[in-house]
Structure 1
């Protein structure tokens, strides 16, 4: 009876341990952010009595027997992984280290501990592989000529081969001033925004320049914010600035406008005066038939001339 109770208690304890991997296995660090091709070292530690423990990568295992081997290489794995004893492990069988150069953006690593009775603990390692962009550039869309004041134009930022795009923010600057942040960029080549592998993206900025923008410089930044485990400050790659030229019609000042009004009024006055003067001269050359005295004199003169005939 006593032995049965002990066995049941042991099974319950083991099942609790297996169900709670947090107490069975500890990873240090628990999350890894690594640049493509850089080495990674992670310790897997357990305080549970076990038979053996090993690291696994995408179902490819580098198995290390706790009581037998010191170093094991992954066999037939897509990347070379090494499992070895932790230097700080004084007992020689409670900690193993994963050493690997990660080039696989979809890599999945997990540490396994095999307990007595063929029970197993497993803990996944959170891995983020990043890659800075090959190039970041800014250009004016469909326009190489100087811009016209008041018209709308598109500036395009092209970012080539960056990963992961899920952590990318495109920042637009005018000089040293941030004017726009874009996380709704366009992914080239029809790829999915869920892919972790490097891809190229583009961002569009709409501008309506005025005369004050002549000579202004626009640039864009590709910023990867990978959290506290990533580079600090966040990795940012800047484009070469694009200088714009803005043509604008001459702007009239107040006094220029007054001068134009005076000139127009003067020109109108001259035209009116010329017309009036012309009519006055024509009127001076012709008798004024509307004057009754002149009309009577004309009739009398006409009558006299008739009698003489």
Structure 2
């Protein structure tokens, strides 16, 4: 009797558990999530492993249901309802019901991306801090937006959601502003800055990026000389050129001095056609622009070319010797050509030989 009661209790417990635990949900949604561009068509299919009494979709725009089907499709020709972020597929039977959700992300690429120099007018100066603002207009969703900052081809920084100032609804047509501070260098002059807006949503189908127009930086910096201070030795009478090259922005003015006296020369090269001893001494080229100046110093020494003098003396001596030899030869010849000749003796020698 006792064992019969135990068996009856176990059977009741099994039946209770069976009634309390509904069958597992067999619904499958394809795709399992949707990434749709605002205004594009969208669709999804929901299927079961058997025919269901009632099967359909619940959406913010309304419900769609069919009876005695094994699958049901949801589709729209143009998805423009920003509130459609989750829709649900369901089936309902006599014994139980089941549902599964489909997540939808609606995105919109920016209408425009622009770059602006803030709180500053005119050229920048070297080592000056400046602020750039990247403005991304009409983009969604902001949570998936990143902004890349580039200097030429070099990536300087990548900004994300926590860096942004957002105007409007984050999941609709929002305007995003990202502000960054930089410090100029000489190398920034003529370099182009730009920002690039990216939506990182679907790695299988990358969304086209939108970038700003490039901003070319105009950076003023003091002159830098490529001609170090040096000593120059010049032979008296030779020509001389002293270069005064300097890199600067804006272009510099030049002023030359010789032994502290201002010269009229303002070119980048000081030229002297024939150097004399009065030209030796200390030369300075002062290169200046509104940002600063640089001074290039040179000391010029004028020397005599003794080799040339020695060669001239040797040549002169050789010429005198040659003239003396010619005069002596001429005198000797003149003395000897008027001597006595024995013509009879000469004739006899000729006959003997014959």
Q: Indicate the larger mover: 217-226 or 141-150.
A: 141-150
Unaligned runs of 5+ in 1: 67-92, 268-309
Aligned to 2:146: 169
Question: Structure 2 CA distance, aligned partners of 1:140 and 1:203?
Answer: 12
How far has the Cα of 1:45 moved from its partner? 0.4
How far has the Cα of 1:37 moved from its partner? 1.2
State which of 189, 193, 198 in structure 2 corresponds to 1:218: 193
Q: Which structure has the highest strand share of the two?
A: 2
Matched residue SS, 2:228: helix
Larger Rg: 2
- Equivalent residues of 1:225, 1:235 under 8 A apart: no
Aligned to 2:102: 125
Could you report, residue by residue, the CA deviation over 1:160-197 in whole angstroms, capped at 9, with x for unpaired residues? 010001101100111122111011333333x57xx422
TM-score normalised over the length of structure 1: 0.65
Question: Structure 1 CA distance, aligned partners of 2:19 and 2:41?
Answer: 37
State which of 12, 18, 21 in structure 2 corresponds to 1:12: 18
Aligned to 2:128: 151
Could you report, residue by residue, the CA deviation over 1:9-55 in whole angstroms, capped at 9, with x for unpaired residues? 698389443xx43xx21000010000011111111001145211011
- Equivalent residues of 1:105, 1:128 under 8 A apart: no
- Equivalent residues of 2:165, 2:178 under 8 A apart: no
Q: How does 1:289-300 map to 2 (within 5 A)?
A: none
Is residue 139 of structure 2 the alignment partner of residue 139 of structure 1?
Answer: no
- Equivalent residues of 1:149, 1:248 under 8 A apart: yes
- Equivalent residues of 1:32, 1:126 under 8 A apart: yes
Q: Indicate the larger mover: 195-204 or 132-141.
A: 195-204
State which of 247, 256, 269 in structure 1 corresponds to 2:220: 247
Q: How does 1:12-161 map to 2 (within 5 A)?
A: 12=18, 15-17=21-23, 20-21=24-25, 24-58=26-60, 60-66=62-68, 93-100=69-76, 101-107=78-84, 108-117=86-95, 119-161=96-138
Q: 1:16/1:180 Cα in 2 relative to 1: closer, same or farther (>3 Å)? A: same
Matched residue SS, 1:50: strand
Q: 1:14/1:114 Cα in 2 relative to 1: closer, same or farther (>3 Å)? A: farther
- Equivalent residues of 2:37, 2:106 under 8 A apart: yes
Could you report, residue by residue, the CA deviation over 1:184-242 in whole angstroms, capped at 9, with x for unpaired residues? 333333x57xx42221111122221222211111111110000336x32x431111111
CA RMSD of aligned residues (A): 3.3
Could you report, residue by residue, the CA deviation over 1:126-175 in whole angstroms, capped at 9, with x for unpaired residues? 11000001110001112231111110101110000100011011001111
Is residue 179 of structure 2 the alignment partner of residue 204 of structure 1?
Answer: yes
Question: Structure 2 CA distance, aligned partners of 1:176 and 1:151?
Answer: 22
Matched residue SS, 1:166: helix
Instruction: Determine which structure has greater relative contact order: mean sequence separation of CA pairs < 8 Å that are 6+ residues apart, divided by chain length.
Output: 1
